[in-house]
Amino acid sequence: MMTETVTISLDAVIAMSGRSRRTWWRRIEEGSISKLPADARGRTLLVFGEIRPALGMALTDEEVAMIARADAGDALAQAEAGAMFALRAQKMPGAGSHCAAFYWLEQAAAQGSADAMHWLGMLYAAGRGESGDSQHLALMWIAQAAAQGHAIARQQVHSLTGRVVQQAV
């Protein structure tokens, strides 16, 4: 797949690059980045190949295709992209932040992805979220994943609730 033909929304670029909306609009106005016509959802679109160097990480063509599907609204691709960015941020802290992981995982979770909910719970439990309420958010997301049938999340909730019941008795 040629990244020159793949489009990506400005919001996704901001999340993945860590650069501000203002920075990207300045690049568009300077002509270093091409702005394409808005998509059906009214989102500003850019050419992936033009923004790829600014991401600061190597992406395979398969990963670019997954990100394009995620940006188009595919919940499975969003969850996969979120997991990919979370793992990269853990392995190479300087190579990217968890911001991109949260961006994609939150979109997938909003569509009911139990895997994304579990990933969000685990990231919050590890203190990766920006909220000061990370532990409560971790429990919330893991419980939601369990309610959706996620096997690992169900076991985690069972482990927690079993302890609570034993302590209450």
**Cβ contact 141:120 at 8 Å:** yes
Residue 165: the pLDDT is 47
Q: Which residues, given as ranges, of the chain have pLDDT below 50? A: 1, 95, 165, 168-169
Q: Is 51 helix (H, G, I), strand (E, B) or coil?
A: helix
Residue 57: the pLDDT is 86
Tokens 């002509």 belong to which residue?
A: 31
Whether the predicted model's global pTM rises above the 0.75 cut:
yes
Residue 169: the pLDDT is 42
Question: CA–CA separation, 39 vs 100, rounded Å?
Answer: 21
Question: CA–CA separation, 126 vs 68, rounded Å?
Answer: 28
Pick the closest to residue 98 from 131, 139, 74, 72 (CA basis).
Answer: 131
Structural tokens at position 122 = 């685990």
Burial of 62 (0-12, 13-18, 19+ CB in 10 A): exposed
**Cβ contact 78:113 at 8 Å:** yes
CA separation, residue 104 to residues 84, 101, 129, 164 (Å): 10, 6, 14, 33
**Cβ contact 98:89 at 8 Å:** yes
